[in-house]
C-alpha cells in the first residue's frame, strides 16, 4: 500500500468502526422504556395470554406457540414467538397463490383457524413477543422482524435494516399492514431505520392503538 493510500484506508476503517458502533449500541432510554412497559403492564397482559393459550390449545390440536427464525439488530437470528393461528397440519403452499407475491399474506387463508382469525384481527397473536422485547431481541417500536427466508427481498436495504432493533409495532403496521404491497413494507422499514427518533416512536405507538382498534389490514 502506498503512502498516499494510507489516509484513505484509515478513513475506511474508521467508517467501519462507526458503523459497527451504531449497530452494537442500543439507546439506554429506549431499552429502559421497553422493560418498564413490559413489566409494568404484566398484570394486564399475562391473564389475557393464559386465556388465549387455553383457547388455542383446546380448539385446535398442536402447539400453542408458533416459533420462527427472524433477524434482529446486527443481522443476528432469534426465535420470534406468536400464538399459533393456523392448523398444525396445513397442506396448502401459500407461495403458489398469486396473492402471496403482493404482501406475503392471503386474505382468506384456509389454514387459519376460527380462533386464529379472531386473534389476528385483534393483533393478540403477537402477544408472546413481549417476551422477545423483555429479553432484548425486539423493541416495542421498530421495523418488523424480517423472516430469514425474506432476506433477499430487502437487497441492499438489509444492511440498513440491521442497524436497529426490530419492533412489535412500526411504520408499516400503522400504515396499512397487510393491505400494503411487500415493497412498501420494505421501504417503510428502511425509512424508520434512517429516521428513528423518540418523536417518531411516540407517534407510532399512538397510531398503533388506532390500527388495532380498526383491524385494518389484519388477516
Average pLDDT over residues 180-205: 86
Which contacts of 41-45 are long-range, i.e. CB under 8 A and separated by 24 or more positions? 45/127, 45/130
Average pLDDT over residues 54-73: 93
* pLDDT higher than 70, residue 65: yes
Tell me how far apart the alpha carbons of residues 170 and 112 are, in angstroms, rounded to a whole number: 24
Q: Which helix (H) or strand (E) holds 144?
A: none
Dmax over CA atoms of the chain, in Å, equals 72
Tell me how far apart the alpha carbons of residues 6 and 12 are, in angstroms, rounded to a whole number: 10
Tell me how far apart the alpha carbons of residues 168 and 127 are, in angstroms, rounded to a whole number: 9
Tell me how far apart the alpha carbons of residues 97 and 83 are, in angstroms, rounded to a whole number: 24
9-22-143 Cα angle (round to 5): 130
Max mean pLDDT among 52-61, 170-179, 190-199 falls in 52-61
Q: Where are the domains of the chain?
A: 28-214
Tell me how far apart the alpha carbons of residues 208 and 189 are, in angstroms, rounded to a whole number: 15
Average pLDDT over residues 51-68: 94
Q: Which of these, 122, 140, 137, lies nearest to 39 by C-alpha position?
A: 140
Average pLDDT over residues 81-103: 66
Q: What pLDDT shows up at residue 154? A: 77
* pLDDT higher than 70, residue 27: yes
* pLDDT higher than 50, residue 161: yes
Instruction: Tell me if 150 sits within 8 A of 186, measured CB to CB.
Output: no
Greater model confidence, 114 or 216: 114
Greater model confidence, 185 or 81: 81
Amino acid at each position: 500500500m502506498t503512502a498516499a493510500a494510507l489516509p484513505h484506508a484509515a478513513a475506511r476503517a474508521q467508517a467501519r468502526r462507526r458503523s459497527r458502533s451504531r449497530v452494537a449500541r442500543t439507546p439506554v432510554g429506549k431499552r429502559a422504556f421497553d422493560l418498564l412497559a413490559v413489566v409494568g403492564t404484566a398484570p394486564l397482559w399475562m391473564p389475557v395470554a393464559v386465556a388465549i393459550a387455553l383457547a388455542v390449545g383446546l380448539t385446535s390440536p398442536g402447539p400453542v406457540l408458533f416459533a420462527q427464525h427472524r433477524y434482529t439488530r446486527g443481522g443476528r437470528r432469534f426465535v420470534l414467538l406468536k400464538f399459533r393461528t393456523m392448523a398444525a397440519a396445513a397442506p396448502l403452499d401459500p407461495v403458489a397463490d398469486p396473492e402471496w407475491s403482493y404482501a406475503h399474506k392471503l386474505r382468506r387463508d384456509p389454514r387459519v383457524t376460527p380462533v386464529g382469525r379472531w386473534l389476528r384481527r385483534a393483533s393478540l397473536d403477537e402477544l408472546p413477543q413481549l417476551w422477545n422485547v423483555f429479553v432484548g431481541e425486539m423493541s416495542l417500536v421498530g421495523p418488523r422482524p424480517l423472516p430469514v427466508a425474506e432476506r433477499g427481498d430487502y437487497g441492499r436495504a438489509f444492511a440498513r435494516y440491521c442497524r436497529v432493533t426490530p419492533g412489535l409495532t412500526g411504520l408499516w403496521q400503522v400504515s396499512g399492514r397487510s393491505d400494503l404491497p411487500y415493497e412498501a413494507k420494505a421501504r417503510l422499514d428502511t425509512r424508520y431505520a434512517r429516521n428513528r427518533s423518540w418523536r417518531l416512536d411516540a407517534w407510532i405507538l399512538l397510531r398503533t392503538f388506532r390500527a388495532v382498534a380498526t383491524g385494518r389490514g389484519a388477516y
